[in-house]
Structure formats: structure tokens, C-alpha cells
Structure 1
Amino acid sequence: MKKTLALLLLLTFTGLFAQKKTFNNPILPAGADPYSTYHNGYYYYTHTLGNKLMLWKTKNLADLNNAESKVIWTPPAGTEYSKDVWAPEFHIINNKWYAYFAADGGDNHQHRMYVLENKSEDPFKGAWEFKGKIAAAPDRWAIDGNIFTYNNQLYMIWSGWEGNTNGQQNIYIAKMSNPWTLGSQRVVISQPTYNWEKQGDLDDAVNPPHVNVNEGPQFLQHGKDVFIVFSSSGCWTDFYSLGLLQLTGDDLMNAKNWKKHEQPIFVKSEANSVYAPGHNSFFKSPDGKEDWILFHANDNPDEGCGNKRSPRMQKIEWNKDGTPNLGVPVSNKQTLQIPSE
């Protein structure tokens, strides 16, 4: 009897250990625009919630269901940034935490980017100070800001309008003079030009009338090679996908130095029941040896931009020419190994 009980306990613990080493997508039931920051052995994860900023803390991104979480900031009512809080990102710059997000006061035309600062080493502690709006020159509709440092210069890239009307979303870049201030005029480095960047339904009265979309830009560096991966087409369509910009010169502010690849690098997989994959971010495994992508997608066709989008992750590889190989969005039925520790 004792031997049988001991064997059962051993099998139970073995099974629990195996479960922790593998996972299936999605990693949460819902959550668009996933992003994570690795710090002191923990991943700090976030995604769009619409009315607040929340962080999850975990050693294993595949185990977010059991992660510690905390609402770190709720916007005050009646402000220009109290609603439609989208695509938050948390960054560590000069030993301080910064939270970047887009928001408006209830009118999409007001959408702008904003930033918070926390001087505590632990983002779950300390006070989050509202630093204000990050405005470009000229000050236009803006969402999906991503911050990065290249050659000791801080930059921001984002998706925005050329004018004041909702006609087309471009990718812009600007230098930053500090983590809450743009230090140069904006420069457009990508506009929707290919057919795969213009998919949408012009007759849809619910969704925005434009279909020319470049959004969700993410900086990615591999050795000396520099890229920006961005989302294209209407997020309400199954054709939402990822495109690639590649830096071909030294000056990031020169639009001619950014080469757009002619085909998308990550698209829907009907065979795997993954639709509208997009708005991604990247992270490394805890041991720093593997590169992974975080992205959201739908399980079924025609599920649009709502709360059915769920966060997923999978390992990426690199092509011989140095470009990222994101592969095919994996099925929810496929069991994956967690990032290498």
C-alpha cells in the first residue's frame, strides 16, 4: 500500500513538473497587444485592457494564469486620456520604469500617446507619476508607441495619421531627448503600399472606413541587423498580418534607409485555426539563447478586433540572410516547450 501511494505521488509530481515545461497557446483566454519586459529574473507582462494599466509578474510567460498581477494605474475620469487605453508597454530606462500607452477621452480622433514614470526598482511598488502627453511635431493622432535605444540614442516609433482625418495609418519615428519628450520632428518611414497592407471592408459601418494600415511597430535587433516588424491591414479582418522593415543605412531618421520586404512575414493559418495574427512584441528566453514572439490572434474567422483576441507565443528562428523567420502561427493543439532556462 505504501509503495503504491509513493508511486502515485511520484507520478503526480512528475506530471506537474512536465506540465510546467510545456504549454499550449493561447497563454491567456483573452488579451490584445501583448508586451513583456524581463527584469531581475521575472517577466513583467501587459496587454490592452481599455480602462487601466495592469502588470503580470512571472518567471514563465507560459504560466500567466498563475502569475501575480496588479493594476498599477487607472486614468482619472473626464481627461483626454481616460478612455480607450491601448497597447501599453513598460520599459526600464536609466534605472526607472516607464509605462507608455495611447488613450483618448472618448473620441478616437483625440488618440495620443502618454507616459508614466516610476522610480522604484520594483514596478509593483512605488508611485506611478503621470508625465504627460508625448507629442510629435506636428501633433497628430498617434497610437502603438514603441521605445528603443540604438547607438546610445533613444527613439520612439508609432502609428499615426498624416493629417487630422482617418484615412491612412503610417509608421513614424522620432528621436527622444528624454523618456517623456520627443526631441525631433517625426519622419514617416513606412506607408501602406502593397495589397496585403490594404485589406478591409470599406462598407463596414462599425469599423473605421480606412483599410490602409501600418501599426504596432516593434524594434528588433539581431547582431548588427536592425528591423521593425509592424502590423498591416484592418485588425477587424482575417488578413491582419506582420510586415518587415529593414535598416540599410546608419541613419534611422532617413526614410530611404528603411527597406520594406515585399511580402508579409507572418500571416493567418487556416490549417492551424489561427486568424488575424498581429500586434506583436519580442522577448528572449531566460538564458538569453532563444528569441520568441508574443502576438495576439483569433481562433476562428471573422472574430474581428474584440475581446476574442488572445495572446500567444512561439519561438522564432533566423534566416541565412539575417532576417527573422517567424514561421507559421502554431495550432492551439500543438504542445510547445517553454523558453530555455
Structure 2
Amino acid sequence: MKLFKNFLFLHLFAVLFILGCGSDDNQTSGPATPPTEQDPTFTNPLLPSGPDPWVVHHGNFYYYTHTLGNRIGIYRTQYISQLSKASPVTVWTPPSTGPYSKNIWAPEIHRLNNKWYIYFAADDGDDANHRMYVLENTNENPLAGTWTFKGKISDPTDLWAIDGSVFTHEDQMYFIWSGWRTASSSNSGNQQIYIARMSNPWTIEGERVMISQPTYNWERNGLVNEGPEVIKNKDGKVFMVFSASGCWTDHYALGMLTLKDNGNPMNPTDWVKTATPVLSTKGENNAYGPGHNGFFKSPDGTEDWIIYHANMASGQGCGNNRSPRIQKITWNADGTPHFGEPVKVGTKISRPSGEIK
């Protein structure tokens, strides 16, 4: 009997040890593949909290991140609808002091020129000092290798900047972000979208150009344009979806700019703004202030999806109550994307094509 008790004790200890190891935030391996016999549906939100969500697909995995504030973490999963089964891995922690030590906002991970890059906004504890910064990793797996700090990415004005992203059009790389017109902190809450050419993934080349500012009433509840992200249709036509109005309001919504055929991204008049939001608050669906989006393909590449955050209730503002949601995009006959309305929380949605084998 004593031997049997010892066996049970050792068996229990081994199980607890394994479980304990699996919860390590610094693990470098991705989550285990879920069983093949799975529910073909999922429900939003993907996580209970996840402001400023971003996801990219590479190889057999999706790499997801969102604002954590004091560090940058990445989730790795084969199936984005099953994100809650993954665990974040901290890949970069800022220094304790200095210009990029605090308020780490809206990181984005991109695969460029066979390397990984993370773009993020940070400051020294004073929001007026927010600027954009870049990390680089040469490893095939962004959860492994070394993330090297490449420095600040800025145009010659070196003014307040957040929500940086990149896209390529006709073999030219562009940096897009939300910024202030001048250095004065009185610009706080008054943001525009800027664009500049890039000479490499961590360097802006030349002057910035403003391509969008709050003009319609639905953009002016806080005078904010931020979070610009590009999606292209099957013919390569360029659409830039951005967040408008203050995130501290329920009016926060997604707007869209369309680049004219044969247009120059650096020419503001070649961008045409849609007169109404493309995704906005739907209270009965527990989607208040939907915004700060990204785009991704289904595993088999046949579907386009949007990821965005929203609050469950009115008045929850810009905090950690914002949760990540995903839904499929359809395409109108004229080639423009159709986003519909935020899917009601708890509604069963068919998983992205290719998740179920």
C-alpha cells in the first residue's frame, strides 16, 4: 500500500510539473495542434481582452499580438479562431527608463524581406513624446532568435506618431501612421493620417504627406483619424481602412480611403474617402466602438477576414475592456470590400476556410 501511495504521489507530481511548465509566459514553442474533430464554428470575442489586435499568417501559423502596455507579446496558433487556446510569449521588454520605456501601444508584426519586423509606439511616460520604433528578427520563427532594436522610425519632422503600419504598392514600400500637425501637446485628440516612402523596413525616405483628417461628422467626436491598414482586392486595388473619432467614445468607427486607379499614394487627392463609416457601433450586438483593425487570409487563402476590437458595453472607452473579434469580409460587384456590421457576441460563425481538415 505504501508503494502504491508513493506511485500516486509521484504520478501527481509529474502531472503538476508538466502543467506548470506549460503556463510559462516565456515559452518559445507554439500551442499544441487542437484535435481534428472540432466544432466547425466559433464565437466572438476571441479573447476577453485585447486592445489594438493584429495578426499575420506565415507558414502554418498565425502570429497575433495586441497592446500590453509594458512589453510586447506574441501568440502563435495554427487556427486563429482558436486563439484562446494559445498563450502569449514575451518577445521584447523595454528598458526601465528612456524615450521608449513606457506606454507600448499597438504593436504590429510584419514579414518583410525574409525577416520579421515589429512596429510599435512608445514614450517616456509623457504621451506628447509618443514616437514609432522598430524591432528586427532574422529567425524564421519570431518566437525564437533575437529581436534587435533598430531604432526610431520617423520623417524629418519627428512629430508625435502612433499606429504605424507598412504596405507595398508597385514595388515601393510605404509607412502609414497617425500623427499631429505640430509639436504642441494641444494637438492631443486631434490626429491625422500620414504617409511616407520607405528606403528599407526601418527607414523613412523623404517628407511625410497628410492623406486624411477628420472631415465628416462621424469622424469628429474627438477629431481623430488613426490605425490605418491597407487591404487590396484580387485586382490589386488599394483600400485603406482607418479608425475615426476618439476611442474614448462609442462613436469610434472604421472609415475607408480608396486609392484611385493609377493613383499615387503620396498624392492626397488620389485618396477618396467613403462618406459613411464601413463598420460602426451596434449596441444590441455588444459591439461598442469597433475599430483598430487588421486583415488576414483564411488558412487556405480563399477568404479575407478582418480583426478588430470593440467594447461589450457603452462607455467603456479605451481600456482593456476592448476585446478582439474577427469576421469574414465579402466583396461588392464594384470590387470594394463589404464589412457588414459587427457580428453579435456569442453568435456561432463558420471558422475560416481550411481550419477544419
Indicate yes or no: 2:257 matched with 1:245: yes
CA distance in 1, matches of 2:41, 2:217: 38
Stretches of structure 1 that go unaligned for 5 or more consecutive residues are 1-14, 200-210
CA distance in 1, matches of 2:266, 2:148: 30
2:241 matched residue in structure 1: 229
The counterpart of 1:304, out of the listed 317, 332, 335, is 317
2:228 matched residue in structure 1: 217
Indicate yes or no: 2:135 matched with 1:135: no
The CA deviation string for residues 70-121 of structure 1, in whole angstroms up to 9 with x for no partner, is 1000001111111110010011111111110000010000000000011111
2:12 matched residue in structure 1: none
CA distance in 1, matches of 2:290, 2:77: 24
1:281 matched residue in structure 2: 294
Question: Could you say if the C-alpha distance between residues 16 and 96 of structure 1 is closer, same or farther in structure 2, counting changes exceeding 3 Å?
Answer: closer
CA shift, 1:18, in A, is 3.6
Q: Secondary structure at the match of 1:185?
A: strand
2:91 matched residue in structure 1: 72
Indicate yes or no: 2:81 matched with 1:62: yes
Q: Secondary structure at the match of 2:52?
A: strand
CA distance in 1, matches of 2:349, 2:45: 11
In the alignment, is the contact (CA less than 8 A) between 1:278 and 1:295 conserved in 2? yes
1:48 matched residue in structure 2: 67
2:220 matched residue in structure 1: 198
2:22 matched residue in structure 1: none
1:327 matched residue in structure 2: 340
The root-mean-square deviation of aligned C-alpha atoms, in Å, is 1.2
The counterpart of 1:103, out of the listed 109, 114, 122, is 122
CA distance in 2, matches of 1:119, 1:16: 32
1:180 matched residue in structure 2: 202
CA distance in 2, matches of 1:49, 1:68: 14
Question: Could you say if the C-alpha distance between residues 302 and 224 of structure 1 is closer, same or farther in structure 2, counting changes exceeding 3 Å?
Answer: same
1:10 matched residue in structure 2: none
The CA deviation string for residues 268-295 of structure 1, in whole angstroms up to 9 with x for no partner, is 1122121100000000101111010000
The counterpart of 2:37, out of the listed 17, 32, 41, is 17
The CA deviation string for residues 105-152 of structure 1, in whole angstroms up to 9 with x for no partner, is 100000000000111111111111000000112110000001111111
The CA deviation string for residues 244-303 of structure 1, in whole angstroms up to 9 with x for no partner, is 000014311011100011111100112212110000000010111101000000111111
Indicate yes or no: 2:202 matched with 1:189: no
Structure 1 segments, 4+ long, off by >4 Å, are none
CA shift, 1:64, in A, is 1.3
CA distance in 1, matches of 2:214, 2:116: 33
TM-score by length of 2: 0.86
Indicate yes or no: 2:165 matched with 1:146: yes
Letter in 2 for 1:32: P
Q: In the TM superposition, what are the counterparts of 1:265-276 in structure 2 within 5 Å?
A: 265-276=278-289
CA distance in 2, matches of 1:184, 1:196: 32
CA shift, 1:16, in A, is 8.2
CA distance in 2, matches of 1:194, 1:178: 35
1:4 matched residue in structure 2: none
Letter in 2 for 1:144: D
CA distance in 2, matches of 1:25, 1:295: 11
The counterpart of 1:118, out of the listed 111, 122, 137, is 137
Q: Secondary structure at the match of 1:271?
A: helix
Letter in 1 for 2:322: R
CA distance in 2, matches of 1:308, 1:16: 32
The counterpart of 2:174, out of the listed 155, 170, 177, is 155
Which stretch of structure 1 is more off in the superposition, 158-167 or 272-281? Answer: 158-167
Question: Could you say if the C-alpha distance between residues 57 and 187 of structure 1 is closer, same or farther in structure 2, counting changes exceeding 3 Å?
Answer: same
CA distance in 1, matches of 2:98, 2:149: 12
CA shift, 1:183, in A, is 0.7
Letter in 2 for 1:24: T
CA shift, 1:333, in A, is 2.2
In the alignment, is the contact (CA less than 8 A) between 1:58 and 1:68 conserved in 2? no
CA distance in 2, matches of 1:80, 1:17: 49
CA distance in 2, matches of 1:297, 1:327: 15
In the alignment, is the contact (CA less than 8 A) between 1:291 and 1:317 conserved in 2? yes
The counterpart of 2:329, out of the listed 292, 316, 319, is 316
CA distance in 2, matches of 1:98, 1:162: 27
Percentage of identical aligned residues: 53
